[in-house]
Structure 1
């Protein structure tokens, strides 16, 4: 009980869910207290089943079948149940004691029953509980080795038909389907445990195919089928370890699974997990089939991934490079991957050549604008480490010439300063940006990159002159005004007044906050200019025109406007 406190509920749920949980106290019903747990129903959008575990190893925990709870969150419904229990905390020890006594009484009663009496009781439960009957039927078929019946049951458990409307299992029914699918995986694992691992292998593979077909028609937003697929893969591996199937056949199946339609991410089987089962002969077949598949489709993602995994596992860096080199990206990204592999293998000279090759091929294609910037960064870093500063500047210059972004400008500036040649490089870079500005070419956020570069250089006067000549985005004008306000208050005032005007015709708290921020800047300009009287006239007129906007008036009052 010590872990069940309001503080812990708030810590687990977060402040927002905790407060929302308070509003659900009247929606809690059917509270049942066990020895260490409490369950109830909470009526929200739907009726949800919730359970609090009071004595978990990590402290208080809970589960709820609402969408938020199924994602593993401590939801408002759990908060509501926790607060309900806390409201009757004095009686909780007594209720827990009564639950223990009931469990002991039930266990004592069952233990005293004869075999026939227990069988009668079980048969009665089977007749009333269809799910229990199915589970026990499946266990019975597994125990007697009736593969036909087990296969039939597993097919039924993985059939979406009973849950699907118009051929699709909606989110509301997906959990019930997943619980049924879990029974199929449990049955397959049970076959291995009962000495029928070979049968488990056969059924696991069939179940993978059925599950892969089913997932296309199930809303698996909670990812439960993904976990079931992983459990199914584990069941298959366990069965292979127990049965020791023909290693060559297993190798062929693993490659086919990795490259075929069943490799949908659900089972996510890694052939290397089977290395001990495959042995040398099986691994040899695995490698051979993987190489053949890759040579037949060098650009196939699955083929490349399998080849790369096998090559890395074998420590064959050259094979890894060959896989990547067979499908080089025009952006140079693949060259970068190869360079990093070679760096990891302590072959830096080859790594440098591959990086330079990637840049060279991009230059030859006149496509340096689309080159992977990480490759440019990598090569410039290598040049800097080797003291090849002129080469680093040249690459940054070419990259900037192709892209002409603020980031490329900043990177050129950093490299040129290290090489002590920034003034000359800056002149050339700004000349390119002036051409772009005159041609009205804008940067990513709007407005000429020239202004962003000059502002980044803290050359405010040059930036103001450029903005006046070529125009600027409002974002740039605002930045300019903020930086120039102390030296050019009259110019800055004109910018602020122009930017404020359209905001007076809009509504919304965000707009009001922007407008008040501009008003504060306007006030500062007037104070610098000694024209406070003009400010008073402006603010009075603004208040008269905007008086119905109560939130705006409140914000202005708070700032003394």
Structure 2
């Protein structure tokens, strides 16, 4: 091996058992260190050597992830870094086109037990050139010819060649983008136009090739398709496109999204888009959010940064979310610490409904906070009485008593 290979590949390869989370995570860090070394060497190293090491590192990485517990995603991220580097290295090294095409086909279609990475033919366009890309398309057609009749969309997952069909469709999408072929982009991405995510995919493809008006139009179609989570995701993408390319239309778009999907998050985006004109929309937004006390309180607390307003909303709207109350009392303690004590008490009592060390610990910490908040006030004795009552009520819970002791409670 070359000196670069000696520095990189031992950090990628391993014979260790990677079925435990900690072992896989530790090795994933080694892999990222190896890729850092490889990337840092690019400016001063022969491109042919860079490609050779990158190619070997990628092959080894795929074998590693096949037998690892990569629930943290760190090894997968390392693989994706190498997949991004590979076409760049191939182009710089002037890798023989035929050899590169053979590898691309093998990587994507050979059943090696790892089929969750895709190659992007757009990224390989520079390395392949026009003639190479034509040869690559021919190779894809040859693969398709071996598969038999194309299954319907509903039958594809159960097809014996489901992965191959998915890979061919992915390549068709990316090649349509490479060709800047508007009709092909619509055909390969939007399909039957019945899924919001597919419509957003179409919009993103148009954005990639600089067709911004088309991207905005298709993102709007995805937004309008239904009220599902995919349309909501598309709505944020649509608004982002408008903010970047048609800022004068962004506020109206954010308002329409809020009216369709009212939440603290969509309200926050209206607030940001409105800027100095926010007072014109405040009453509508607050009134709409009243249907969801949690969202109303979180918006007032986190976006408007008005803890007193949030406190009043929480009471008037009968907020019943313990998590939101917990966030609210943290902020309102600075306004009126004594007023928060009844809420703290209720949260403590709710914690103790479930018998577990974690709940006992959280309750003990909250009681300690109550003692601190009430110190020097007439409420101090009441808090101590509450603690005594809880100790008595739960006297048969030794772990609770232990957590109370650890928190320094009387």
1:145-544 alignment runs, 5 A limit: 285-286=138-139, 301-311=166-176, 315-318=178-181, 321-327=185-191, 329-330=193-194, 332-345=196-209, 347=210, 350-360=211-221, 362-363=223-224, 365=225, 367-368=226-227, 370-386=229-245, 388-389=247-248, 391-417=249-275, 420-434=276-290, 436-437=291-292, 448-456=294-302, 457-472=304-319, 473-504=321-352, 506-527=354-375, 529-544=377-392
Structure 1 pair 539–303 and aligned structure 2 pair: CA distance change class (3 A): closer
Structure 1 pair 263–531 and aligned structure 2 pair: CA distance change class (3 A): closer
Deviation at 1:388, TM superposition (A): 2.6
Distance 1:330 1:339 in 2: 14
Which structure dedicates a bigger proportion of its chain to strand? 1
User: Given the alignment, which residue of 391, 398, 407 partners 1:549?
Assistant: 398
Contact 1:396/1:408, CA 8 A, preserved across alignment: yes
Deviation at 1:63, TM superposition (A): 4.5
Distance 1:505 1:288 in 2: 64
- Partner in structure 2 of residue 21 of structure 1: none
Structure 1 pair 288–481 and aligned structure 2 pair: CA distance change class (3 A): closer
Deviation at 1:518, TM superposition (A): 1.8
Deviation at 1:66, TM superposition (A): 9.5
> What per-residue deviation string (whole Å, max 9, x for no partner) do you get for residues 305-350 of structure 1?
23235556xx4121652443551654543444344434443x3xx2
Contact 1:294/1:307, CA 8 A, preserved across alignment: no
Contact 1:352/1:379, CA 8 A, preserved across alignment: no
> What per-residue deviation string (whole Å, max 9, x for no partner) do you get for residues 279-322 of structure 1?
8996675576689999967956344223235556xx41216524
Which runs of 5 or more residues in structure 2 are unaligned?
1-8, 28-65, 70-97, 154-164
Deviation at 1:359, TM superposition (A): 0.9
Distance 2:338 2:351 in 1: 21
Distance 2:172 2:254 in 1: 35
1:50-129 alignment runs, 5 A limit: 63=15
TM-score by length of 1: 0.44
Contact 2:267/2:285, CA 8 A, preserved across alignment: yes
SS at match of 1:471: coil
Contact 1:504/1:546, CA 8 A, preserved across alignment: no
Contact 1:369/1:399, CA 8 A, preserved across alignment: no
Deviation at 1:429, TM superposition (A): 1.3
Structure 1 pair 394–536 and aligned structure 2 pair: CA distance change class (3 A): same
Contact 2:206/2:214, CA 8 A, preserved across alignment: no
Distance 1:512 1:288 in 2: 64
Distance 2:220 2:262 in 1: 17
Which runs of 5 or more residues in structure 1 are unaligned?
1-56, 76-219, 224-243, 245-249, 438-446
Distance 1:281 1:542 in 2: 77
Contact 2:219/2:238, CA 8 A, preserved across alignment: no
> What per-residue deviation string (whole Å, max 9, x for no partner) do you get for residues 474-501 of structure 1?
2223333332234444432211222223
Deviation at 1:510, TM superposition (A): 0.8
TM-score by length of 2: 0.58
Deviation at 1:407, TM superposition (A): 1.5
Contact 1:330/1:371, CA 8 A, preserved across alignment: no
RMSD: 5.1
Contact 2:120/2:174, CA 8 A, preserved across alignment: no
Structure 1 pair 295–395 and aligned structure 2 pair: CA distance change class (3 A): farther
Deviation at 1:513, TM superposition (A): 1.4
Contact 1:291/1:307, CA 8 A, preserved across alignment: no
Structure 1 pair 501–353 and aligned structure 2 pair: CA distance change class (3 A): same
Contact 2:307/2:328, CA 8 A, preserved across alignment: yes
Contact 2:222/2:235, CA 8 A, preserved across alignment: no
Distance 1:281 1:431 in 2: 59
Distance 2:313 2:168 in 1: 54
Deviation at 1:399, TM superposition (A): 1.0
Name the larger-Rg structure.
Answer: 1
Distance 2:385 2:280 in 1: 50
Distance 1:318 1:413 in 2: 39
Distance 1:322 1:485 in 2: 55
Deviation at 1:395, TM superposition (A): 1.0
Contact 1:451/1:463, CA 8 A, preserved across alignment: yes
